[in-house]
Amino acid sequence: MSENTTRPGAEPFTQRSPRVVAARRLTRRAEREKAGRFLAEGANAVGAALAGERGLVHELFVTADAAEANPELVSAARAAGARVSPVTDRAAAALSETVTPQGIVAVCELLGRSLDAVLPPAARLVAVLVDVADPGNAGTVIRVADAAGADAVILAGDSVDPHNGKCVRASAGSLFHVPLARTRDAHAALEVCRAAGLRLFGADGYAKTGLDSLALDVPAAWVFGNEAHGLPGRILESVDEGVRIPIYGQAESLNLATAAAVCLYGSAMALSPAERRSSGG
Amino acid sequence: MSENTTRPGAEPFTQRSPRVVAARRLTRRAEREKAGRFLAEGANAVGAALAGERGLVHELFVTADAAEANPELVSAARAAGARVSPVTDRAAAALSETVTPQGIVAVCELLGRSLDAVLPPAARLVAVLVDVADPGNAGTVIRVADAAGADAVILAGDSVDPHNGKCVRASAGSLFHVPLARTRDAHAALEVCRAAGLRLFGADGYAKTGLDSLALDVPAAWVFGNEAHGLPGRILESVDEGVRIPIYGQAESLNLATAAAVCLYGSAMALSPAERRSSGG
C-alpha cells in the first residue's frame, strides 16, 4: 500500500479516496449490516467509542483542524490500534450527515449483542423499544436510559437501527455506554426481561394504572411503543402492568423521549438507595 | 373586494395571492412582531387554537382536501368569526415550513401575556426558560409543562420566539393551552414567581442538591437554562435552590426537554393529591 496514512505529513484522503467512499456507504443501513460497521461522528461520540469497553474503533478519519483540536482522541485511537486517516475538509463533509461537519468520524464495530447476553446478572432497569421509528427519538431514549442507570436497552420489532447517524448523534455518546440488543421478536425481548425477574411495565396512555399510583421500587423493564401508535395490543397483553403517565393539563400526551424520561427516572430514583428523599413531606 | 373567499366554489388563493404572500411573511420573527400574528399549521394546532380561550384565529387557509378531512375545523373557524380562505396545494406548501404540508394553516393572534398577568392566583407550578435557543426544545418543554399541569411558561432572556413554526409544531397544541409570557429580563421573571409564593428551583448539572433528595411537594417555579451553557451564574445565585438531576449511568447530562420532563413531573406528581402512591414501599 503506497499511502501510509498514519505517518504525519501524508497526503490527506479526499472525498474520492476509496477508503472514504467505502466509509460513506455506511450511512446506509444495508451497507452497515453487510460490513458490520457504522460511523460515529464528532468528538463526543468518538471519545465515548474509544473510552468504552463496548466501542471498537477500526479507523478514525480526521481533518487537520480536528486533529489539532482533539490530540487526545487521535492518540487514544492509535493506542487502541485503530487506523488514523487524515482527511480533507471535503472528505469529512462527505462522511458527515450534519450541516456542520465536525471533522472527526470513527468507523466502529456494530454494537448489538445477542438478546440472551444483553442483561447483566441482577439487572434492575431496562428499556425496551417496540417499533420505535424515529432515530432521533431512539437516540434520546438511549441517552435517558444511560443517565437513569439502565442496565440495557433492547430495540425490538420494527425499531430503527440504533447505528443510524441521527440516533448516534442524539444519544450523545450513550450508545457506547449502555448494552444494546436488537430483535425482531418483541415477545422474546419481554421474555428475557421476565426471566431476569424484572417487572414489565408497558407505557400506555389509556392504561388504568397511573404512574403516580405505582410502586416503583422494584426491578423493572419499561416497554415503550411507536411514536404514533403506541404499543401493539399483543404486547400490552403480555406486560405485567400497563402504566399511564398522568396528564394534569390539556396536552393529549407526552412525546416518546419525555415520557421515557419520566418513567425511567421514576424507577431509577425509587430504586436508588444512595440519596433518599431527606424530607418527610 | 372582488373575492368572496368564504363562499363555496370561489377560486382558491394561489401562492401569489396577496393574502398568502402576506401570511407567508409571518414565518419571520420580525414580521410576526410587526403584524402581531403568527401561523399555526396542521389540524392539531388549528384545533387547539380554535378550542382554546387563548387562541384567537383571524384567518384559516385550507386546501380542498384538508377542508374535506376537517369539516369541524372549518365550521369552528367560521363560527369563531375567522375568515376561511380556500388555497391551492401550492399555496399551502408556501405557507408551510414542513416537508409534508398539512394543507391547513391558521393566522393567529400572538399569544404572549404581560409578565404581571401570566400567573393565575394560587399558581403551583411554573416553567421559566432562560436563553433557550432551539425552537423545537422550547416547544417540547411547553408540551411537557402543559401535560404536567403547569400554570404558566415564561420565556425569559434571549429565549427563542415561541411563535416560531418549529416551536408551534413541537408544542403539539400546548402553546394554546398554557399561559405564556415573554420577557428580556430574566430576573423580573424570577421575581414574579417569588412574589407568587413559588419556590425557585434552578436546574443545574453542578448543583449540590439532587432531585432525589428534594422535597417536591411545594409550589415551585422550575428554571431551565440554555441547551449548551445552562443557567447563567447570576440566575443560579437568585434561585432558592440549584437542583441536579442525578446521573446514575455514564451519560454526561440529559437534554433540555427530558430534564424538564423529569423535574416538572417530579413536582406535578408530588403536588397532586388525586392519585397518591398506593404502595407503602
Query: For each of chain A's 281 residues, which pLDDT tens digit applies?
Result: 444 445 555 799 999 999 999 999 999 999 999 999 999 999 999 999 999 766 689 999 999 999 999 999 999 999 999 999 999 999 999 999 888 899 999 999 999 889 999 999 999 999 999 999 999 999 999 999 999 999 999 999 999 999 999 999 999 999 999 999 999 999 999 999 999 999 999 999 999 999 999 999 999 999 999 999 999 999 999 999 999 999 999 999 999 999 999 999 999 999 987 544 444 33
Q: Which of residues 15-54 of A touch B (CB under 8 A)?
A: none
Contact B258 A144 (CB under 8 A): yes
Contact A254 B279 (CB under 8 A): no
CA distance A211 to chain B (A): 9
DSSP state of B195: H
ipTM over 0.85: yes
Mean pLDDT, all residues of chain B: 92
CA distance A18 to chain B (A): 34
Pairing between β-strand B125-130 and β-strand B104-109 as defined by DSSP bridges: unpaired
Q: Of the candidates A251, A265, A274, which has its C-beta nearest B174's C-beta?
A: A251
Taking the CB of residue B31, how many other CB atoms lie within 10 A of it?
A: 15
Q: Of the candidates B217, B249, B274, which has its C-beta nearest A149's C-beta?
A: B249
Q: Which of B217, B269, B272 to mutate to test the interface with A (most CBs of A within 10 A)?
A: B269
Contact B212 A150 (CB under 8 A): no
What cell was used for B140? Answer: 417540547
Contact A258 B261 (CB under 8 A): yes
With a pLDDT cut of 90, the percent of chain B lying above it is 88
Q: Where in chain A is the domain with CATH 3.40.1280.10?
A: 115-271
Contact A212 B272 (CB under 8 A): yes
Mean local confidence (pLDDT), B172-179: 94
Helix axes A71-79, A43-51, angle to 10 degrees: 30
Contact B246 A268 (CB under 8 A): yes
Pairing between β-strand B104-109 and β-strand B37-41 as defined by DSSP bridges: antiparallel
Architecture label for domain B115-271: 3-Layer(aba) Sandwich (3.40)
Q: Does B120 touch chain A (CB under 8 A)?
A: no
Q: Where in chain B is the domain with CATH 3.30.1330.30?
A: 18-109
Q: Do residues A151 and A126 lie in contact, with contact meaning Cβ atoms separated by under 8 Å?
A: yes
CA distance A29 to chain B (A): 23
CB proximity list for A42: less than 8 A, separation 6 or greater: A102, A104, A169
Say if residue B205's pLDDT is above 50.
Answer: yes
pLDDT in tens, B180-189: 999 999 999 9
3-state SS record for B173-193:
CHHHCCCEEEECCHHHHHHHH
CB proximity list for A194: less than 8 A, separation 6 or greater: A200, A221
- Judging contacts by C-beta atoms under 8 Å, the chain B residues touching residue A146 are 249-251
Residue contacts between A and B (CB atoms, under 8 Å): 160
Q: Does A193 touch chain B (CB under 8 A)?
A: no
- Judging contacts by C-beta atoms under 8 Å, the chain A residues touching residue B216 are 281
pLDDT on residue A281: 33
pLDDT on residue A2: 40
Q: Which of residues 226-265 of A touch B (CB under 8 A)?
A: 245-255, 257-262, 265
Domain A18-109: assigned CATH number: 3.30.1330.30
Mean local confidence (pLDDT), B133-147: 97
